[in-house]
């Protein structure tokens, strides 16, 4: 009986640290995975909506919504895969100005005439 008891105590003494280390590995990271931002994007019509949203059809962007009347874009994206500067650059490359990046003149010139939002004097 003594031998059985000593073996049982030895098992408890050596087995517990192993289980404690395993429990540490199971701790989850509950930080938010996606970031939501809202900013101004210039455009005037339904074609602009499709062009802006198609430009954001890339890895790291979960969802995007552009309001034509308010000219505001709401985007949900994963910061580990794509940055906000990249988002602005993608939209500008499609021919639409954002708060921080102006579309290149070449990209703007390729837009259909109904999509020209810059006012000429």
Domains and CATH numbers, the chain: 35-104 (3.30.70.100)
The pLDDT assigned to 58 comes to 96
The pLDDT assigned to 33 comes to 86
User: What is the mean pLDDT of each successive set of 10 residues along the chain, which is 121 residues long?
Assistant: 68 60 61 90 94 96 95 95 96 96 95 87 38
The three-state (H, E, C) secondary structure of the chain, written as one string = CHHHHHHHHHHHHHHHHHHHHHHHHCCCCCCCCCEEEEEEECCCCHHHHHHHHHHCCCCCEEEEEEECCCCEEEEEECCCCCCHHHHHHHHHHCCCCECCCCCCHHHHHCCCHHHCCCCCC
Q: pTM of the prediction? A: 0.73
């Amino acid at each position: 009986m003594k031998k059985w008891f000593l073996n049982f105590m030895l098992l408890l003494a050596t087995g517990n640290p192993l289980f404690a280390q395993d429990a540490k590995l199971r701790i989850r990271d509950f930080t938010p995975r996606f970031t939501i931002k809202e900013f101004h994007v210039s455009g005037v019509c339904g074609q602009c909506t499709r062009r802006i949203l198609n430009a954001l059809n890339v890895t790291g962007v979960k969802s995007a919504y552009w309001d034509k009347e308010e000219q505001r874009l709401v985007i949900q994206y994963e910061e580990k895969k794509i940055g906000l500067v990249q988002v602005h650059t993608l939209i500008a490359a499609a021919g639409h100005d954002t708060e921080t990046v102006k579309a290149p003149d070449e990209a703007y010139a390729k837009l259909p005439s109904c999509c020209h939002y810059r006012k000429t004097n």
